[in-house]
């Protein structure tokens, strides 16, 4: 959670407001091949990536199409899942 705390403090969020935000997050480790959200399901979470990368992709005609990649110290969400 230190990276998340540093991110908010470095972005100018006042110290008094950082604690409630950081406390709303829970640490979860994903293994390679595990999905943050799945096709046809509405995402329930917002994540902060502390290590490695997350790939946004879909399958078309049996081929994996990458649309975006998120890296360390960035947020991860599937906003498009709310519009289905």
pLDDT tens digits, one per residue of 17-76: 999 999 999 999 999 889 998 888 888 889 999 999 999 998 999 999 999 999 999 999
pTM: 0.77
Name the packing angle between helices 2-10 and 15-23 (round to 10°).
140
Q: Can you read off the two tokens belonging to residue 34?
A: 């595990």
Is residue 47 packed enough to be buried (19+ CB in 10 Å), middle (13-18) or exposed (0-12)? buried
What is the DSSP pairing of strand 54-60 with strand 47-49?
A: unpaired
Is residue 55 within 8 Å of 13, Cβ to Cβ?
no
Q: Can you read off the two tokens belonging to residue 39?
A: 């096709």
**Domain range annotation of the chain:** 2-83
């Amino acid at each position: 959670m230190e990276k998340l705390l540093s991110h908010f403090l470095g972005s100018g969020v006042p110290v008094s407001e950082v604690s409630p935000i950081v406390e709303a997050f829970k640490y979860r480790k994903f293994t390679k091949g595990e999905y943050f959200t799945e096709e046809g399901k509405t995402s329930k979470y917002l994540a902060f990536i502390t290590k490695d990368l997350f790939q946004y992709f879909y399958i078309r005609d049996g081929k994996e199409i990458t649309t975006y990649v998120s890296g360390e110290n960035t947020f991860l969400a599937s906003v498009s899942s709310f519009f289905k």
